Amino acid sequence: MARHGGRGWYGRVVAAAVGVTAVAAATSVWTAQAGPAGGNQAAAKPAAPKAAPVSAGIVHASDGGDHAVNITIDDGPDPNWTPQVLQVLRDNGVKATFCMVGPQAEAHPDLVKQVVAAGHRLCDHSVSHDTTMDKKPQSYQSEQIVTAERQITKASGGVRPLYYRAPGGAFTPYSRHLAASHGMRPLGWNVDSKDFERPGTEAIVATVQRELPNGPTLLFHDAGGDRSQTVAALRTVLPWLKQQGYSFGFPVR
């Protein structure tokens, strides 16, 4: 999503939780480095297999080819709006990529599982939705990305996010390479529908139609406030895209 300033709408809610998580993560790292207490290595669980690294370049292209688009949905899951977005996608036979905020996924694992079961893909959208992440230390960026990855994977029942989208596009070379080393391709966008600003359904549709020549990856939201305009816009945009001869794909991995 486009930058909206500061930590974004999740920042104040989860800031304290991030601090606690950071301490827990640091303790976990120290314990792993120190080894099991008393040499009881038989009691230690084997680490989960690490995802294969992918390119650290920010992707916009679609795996559906030159006349395909990628529908991407940010900031959820949300118990009110995500089911409605899922229904519109189902009605139109469209698969999308859901860029989830870690605590939201943790709070609504049933929705994360519904997204996966419907054949959509998952994307890590950080813990705090901090649009100034690119101005923060690498340790902070790592905490935001890795913790959200873990939260989303757990909520999904073990399905890892395949992409990482920095809040507001606040990528850094470090964050891109860190995400890629965890098997998450950095994901950009070409068409910002501006639905976050709730300009009206017709304005959202017009923005998509006007900006579509910019490229194949379209940005919408299913959380962060009243998303009724987004749901209504998708009901118009998805059939319109089909009428224009577009197919639907996923961002290239």
| Residues carrying an active site annotation | 74, 221
Pair of tokens at residue 210: 């006007």
**Nearest Cα to Cα of residue 55 among 216, 250, 190, 186:** 186
C-alpha to C-alpha distance for 123 and 111, rounded to whole angstroms? 14
C-alpha to C-alpha distance for 235 and 38, rounded to whole angstroms? 61
Helix, strand, coil tally for the chain in percent (to 5): 50, 15, 40
C-alpha to C-alpha distance for 215 and 195, rounded to whole angstroms? 18
Give me the amino acid identity at 58: I
**Element spanning 210, H or E:** helix 201-211
Q: Between β-strands 247-249 and 68-74, what pairing exists: parallel, antiparallel or unpaired?
A: parallel
C-alpha to C-alpha distance for 86 and 220, rounded to whole angstroms? 13
Give me the amino acid identity at 139: S
DSSP letter at 73 equals E
Give the dihedral sign, CA 130/131/135/141.
positive
